[in-house]
Amino acid sequence: MMPNRTQSSTRPGQGQVLLLRFSGDLTTKADATRRHMTRRLVDNLRTSIKESGRPARVKQSRDRLYVELEPPTESGPSNAEMVARLARVFGIQSVSLTQAAPWRSLEDVVREGYAYGEPYVRGKSFGIRARRMGERHEVKLRSAEIQQQLGAALLPGSTGVDLSNPDVTLFVEVDTKLAYYFVAKDPGAGGLPLGTQGRAVSLLSGGFDSPVASWRMLRRGIALDYVFCNLGGRAHQMETLAIAKRLCDLWQCGTRPRFHAIDFDLVSREIQKSVTTRYWQLVLKRMMLRAAEAVAQRLGALAIVTGDAIGQVSSQTLTNLAVVSHGMTIPILRPLVGDAARLSAGECASDR
């Protein structure tokens, strides 16, 4: 029988919930490591939510994280903005804005699914993907039954079922108490939760390579502070500070990164006065690494991150990289060493 949409009502526990899936990097870890990383991930999510200004609660199951949203205010972020914000938290594979409703029977799941899905499938082809979350004895519904009965209810208003290339796919996930309905999975940043792999300093140049290198290390769970060796005056420093701030605002919830600007004008003058011209760039890079090393040691950071890529410029040949790195007491991480930064332009885009 066709469900009556007027029967769908707001009940305790019903409302809009963000469903967050763990990244593959996290789910493959041993249980103890996964628990540690999940705790940090939840802390980072709560920090991001707090900074958004929109009240929400984070709940956790074995396979999912759920963010229960309070209704949006006129001045606060919208649902779509919350999806985009939490998708940037490292350790999250994807985010779905769902409608959650309690259930006791298959009829409840179908009725609520019809109320949610009918506007999406009206006049379109559709498919349904249902999934049971939890043990069989806890969730006594079969995914196939949900798909069949909900599909039959939605069919009259649609152009038909298409399981290979539908206009709309309606997803249903059912746990012991709630059914979650959604039609989209927004990709997340993936990677490891920020702060689970220690701290490093990133040597920013003001160009494109070093921010991309920084983003890649953030994605691997390394918390960063930033070091800038200033050769271009206040304007150059403010431009680089804006880049660092953009990285921090979008990608570093859960940490308190610092920006260290070091005046390198006198260092540059001394190099030009004392060093053969052909070695100026190498010695300058060497001194920048030493400055970053000094900051790292003071902060207790474990490594230096740079945007070096083999052959990108003359100072980044393998021989020259070996020369400038000689004698350093902490590792130098070069995530772009084997590829050009321009190939990674979309990785840390501000609209991701």
pLDDT more than 70, % of the chain: 92
Tens of pLDDT along 95-131? 999 999 999 999 999 999 999 999 999 999 999 999 9
Contact present, 232 and 241 (Cβ < 8 Å): no
pLDDT reported for residue 148: 96
Q: Are residues 307 and 214 in the same domain?
A: yes
Q: Are residues 17 and 111 in the same domain?
A: yes
Range of the domain at 327: 199-344
Q: Are residues 142 and 285 in the same domain?
A: no
Looking at the domain assignment, is residue 194 inside a domain?
no
Looking at the domain assignment, is residue 150 inside a domain?
yes
Contacts of 291 (CB under 8 A, 6+ apart): 227, 229, 262, 264
Q: Are residues 283 and 320 in the same domain?
A: yes
Tens of pLDDT along 2-16? 444 333 333 334 578
Report phi then psi at 328, rounded to 5.
-65, 145
What pTM did the predictor assign? 0.88
Report phi then psi at 127, rounded to 5.
-135, 160
Contacts of 131 (CB under 8 A, 6+ apart): 143, 171, 172, 173, 174
Looking at the domain assignment, is residue 303 inside a domain?
yes
Q: Are residues 104 and 180 in the same domain?
A: yes
Tens of pLDDT along 20-70? 999 999 989 999 999 999 999 999 999 999 999 999 999 998 889 999 999
Give the total number of structural domains in the chain: 2
Looking at the domain assignment, is residue 193 inside a domain?
no
Query: Which residue, among 90, 89, 52, has the nearest Cα to 72 in the 3D structure?
Result: 52
| CATH value at residue 303 | 3.40.50.620
Q: Are residues 162 and 234 in the same domain?
A: no
| CATH value at residue 115 | 3.30.2130.30
Domain final residue, candidates 161, 187, 213: 187
Tens of pLDDT along 316-341? 889 999 999 998 999 999 999 998 64
Q: Are residues 230 and 105 in the same domain?
A: no
Q: Are residues 138 and 271 in the same domain?
A: no
Q: Are residues 218 and 146 in the same domain?
A: no
